[in-house]
Structure 1
Amino acid sequence: MQVAINETAFHLQTCLIDLSGVEPHLPALRRHAEAMSGSQASADAYTGALLEILATDSSILPAGSSSKVGLFKLYNRLYANLFNQDRREEDGYRQLSWQARQVLFLVLSEDFTIDETADIMDMTASEVEAIVRTGGGATPLYN
């Protein structure tokens, strides 16, 4: 399937990209990108950058994963390389590490399994389970 992506959708120059395997997952990826970046404009820029990379070389999608897991894993690598993974994000209620925030969002909001999340994050399933179990080490809202 050929999909035209223009600057109103992702602030890109018009281009044609074969999105056959990833197209159904773009709304979830944009939602995830917004949660991680904090704004829709940033989310669109990151998603657009990822699509430009895929348009150049679609073989970079990680092998051995579903198209959705591969897309999120590739996005995670791009985002992690742009930012220091140890920084803290203020979400108005508590501070979470970038990694904990990402893990919790993948599992709780995007319905990825523990194993899929571990694959996306390049972590072990035990590490992901520990973050989910402890809420990422967040300070409880109420005592």
Structure 2
Amino acid sequence: MDYAVIEPHIPRLRRYARALTGDAARADDLVQDTLERALRKFALWRRGSDLRAWLFTLMHNVYVNQRRAERPTLAWDATRDDIPQPGSQEHALVVRDLAAAIKTLPPEFREVVLLIGLEDFSYAETARVLGIAQGTVMSRLARGRERLRRALEGESGQRIRRVK
């Protein structure tokens, strides 16, 4: 069997794992657990089907199982030094605020927002990865985006005015 087909997907798996867990070490563990499961179950992957979606489905299932076992979920921490950020202080503040807003999302909304927004999955791919209906994906995405918008604007709906 040619397991080398999995290797090009590792950077995207790691990025998604990092966004889910918020911690580099936990993300590496999640990727390792996912790859271990993928290698054990590689015979179950249907040749010609989307390997990326299959790997993300495995990762989602591993993550859900770990989250159930742990209970509280660690969230993404944008203040970490090992997250590359552009030099702009204003951009860093926007990233920090977005990370904080993502942290407040319930896991089912966060997963959909990250798969579609960060990993560029389609609604259908996201539905397959998470094992939910496409309409549920669309609904969770809309609600997740709305919660992000409200969190970024403040609960009152008024933005903080920038002073230059």
Per the normalisation by structure 2, the TM-score is: 0.67
Structure 1 75/61 Cα, relative in aligned 2: closer, same or farther at 3 Å?
farther
For 1:133, the equivalent position in structure 2 comes to 142
For 1:81, the equivalent position in structure 2 comes to 65
Which protein is bigger by CA-based radius of gyration?
A: 2
For 1:51, the equivalent position in structure 2 comes to 35
Specify which structure has the bigger relative contact order, considering alpha-carbon pairs within 8 angstroms and separated by 6 or more residues: 2
- Unaligned 5+ segments in structure 1 are 2-17
For 1:22, the equivalent position in structure 2 comes to 6
Q: Shift of the alpha carbon at 1:138? A: 1.9
Return the structure number with greater helix share: 2
Distance 1:79 1:39 in 2: 13
Question: Superposition pairs for residues 118-129 of structure 1, below 5 Å?
Answer: 118-129=127-138
Structure 1 133/111 Cα, relative in aligned 2: closer, same or farther at 3 Å?
same
Q: Shift of the alpha carbon at 1:62? A: 7.0
- Unaligned 5+ segments in structure 2 are 76-98, 158-164
Verify the 8 A CA contact 1:34 1:43 in the aligned structure 2. yes
Secondary structure at the residue paired with 2:68?
A: coil
Q: Shift of the alpha carbon at 1:60? A: 4.2
Stretch of structure 1 that moved more, 105-114 or 51-60: 51-60
Per the normalisation by structure 1, the TM-score is: 0.75
For 1:96, the equivalent position in structure 2 comes to 105
Report % sequence identity. 29
Distance 2:73 2:37 in 1: 27
Deviations 1:95-127 (A, max 9, x none): 111111011000011110000000000010000
Verify the 8 A CA contact 2:112 2:126 in the aligned structure 1. yes
Distance 1:121 1:62 in 2: 18
For 1:6, the equivalent position in structure 2 comes to none
For 1:42, the equivalent position in structure 2 comes to 26
Return the structure number with greater strand share: 1
Q: Shift of the alpha carbon at 1:25? A: 1.1
Q: Report how many residues are paired.
A: 127
Q: Shift of the alpha carbon at 1:24? A: 1.2
Q: Shift of the alpha carbon at 1:56? A: 3.1
